[in-house]
Amino acid sequence: MINSLKYFAVVPAAGVGKRMQADRPKQYLSLCNHTVIEHTLSRLLEAEAFTTVAVAISVEDPYWPELEISRHPQILTAAGGKERADSVLSALKSLENQAAADDWVLVHDAARPCITSADIHKLIETLKQDATGGILALPSHDTLKQVDGCQIQQTLDRRTVWRALTPQMFRFGALKQALEQTQGNLAITDEASAFELIGQSAKIVEGRPDNIKITQPEDLLLAQFYLEQQ
Ligand code: C5P
């Protein structure tokens, strides 16, 4: 049977990005002649996988309306929330009139502009028959230490620890419910952690290491290098 489910993208983009120490949120910093968020959204649109891309934007954000891509017919603007999870939930609610409970949603950070179509389709192809969903992630190559302040407590078995990336892909209805059930919990820093908290486990799919999140000033140079290489 041809899979008739729809795919939606949700992009939380309402953060202030304090660690960048810039004059504007990091998604609006310049990268290869465009803003970070323009690269991210263009990559999602170019993947030709999504019915709609819902973007959560802070209500006080003066930069978003200035971007032509904010008026793209496939892009829907939703109000951002206090935490990342609140922004994602708000974007999901904006899709309620087009998404069915079993449709898939891929949540992708605005601050990850180097996402490739190849990784988006790898995630979709790997998980489209799955009951719950899962995330792109990277294995750890460094030796990992659990610490208390500056004191090492123990060495973790790195074969069992992965770094969570985005997109993170879940069923629309289940994701909305998981985020509603765990709302206000500050330990929810990605979608998978909401599922973990309610006792459901998600899968990992190995992603590309160039799918970095812009967090610190030097990340912009690295992202520029990756975009040029890709
Ligand atoms: O701060 P961090 O890098 O973890 O943010 C990840 C993503 O979540 C960013 O794209 C940021 O804009 C978004 N975010 C949001 N609403 C918040 C906080 C962060 O949409 N309240």
Give yes or no for a contact between 44 and 9, defined as CB atoms under 8 angstroms apart. Answer: yes
Q: Is 13 in the pocket of ligand 1 (CB under 6 A)?
A: yes
Residue 59 DSSP symbol: T
- Per-residue burial over 14-27, b = 16 or more CB atoms within 10 Å of its CB, e = otherwise: bbebeebeeeebbb
One-letter amino acid for residue 50 of the chain: F
Helix axes 172-181, 84-94, angle to 10 degrees: 140
Output the pLDDT for position 3: 61
Encode the chain (230 residues) as per-residue pLDDT tens digits: 446 899 999 999 999 878 888 899 999 999 999 999 999 999 999 999 999 999 999 999 999 999 999 999 999 999 999 999 999 999 999 999 999 999 999 999 999 999 999 999 999 999 999 999 999 999 999 999 999 999 999 999 999 999 999 999 999 999 999 999 999 999 999 999 999 999 999 999 999 999 999 999 899 999 999 999 99
E strands within the chain? 7-12, 30-31, 34-35, 53-57, 75-79, 104-107, 133-139, 144-148, 151-156, 162-171, 203-206
Which of 188, 100, 175, 99 is closest to 134 using CA atoms?
175
Find the 15 Cα to ligand 1 centroid distance in Å: 4
Of ligand 1's atoms, which has the minimum distance to the CA of residue 109?
10
Output the pLDDT for position 2: 47
CATH homologous superfamily of 2-229 equals Spore Coat Polysaccharide Biosynthesis Protein SpsA; Chain A (3.90.550.10)
Instruction: Bin 98: left if φ > 0, else alpha if -120 < ψ < 50, else beta.
Output: alpha
Output the pLDDT for position 1: 40
Find the 217 Cα to ligand 1 centroid distance in Å: 16
Domain ranges of the chain: 2-229
Q: Is 14 in the pocket of ligand 1 (CB under 6 A)?
A: yes
The CA distance from 29 to 23, in Å, is: 9
Output the pLDDT for position 18: 80
Q: What is the SS3 assignment for 90?
A: helix
pTM for the predicted model, two decimal places: 0.96
Find the 8 Cα to ligand 1 centroid distance in Å: 19
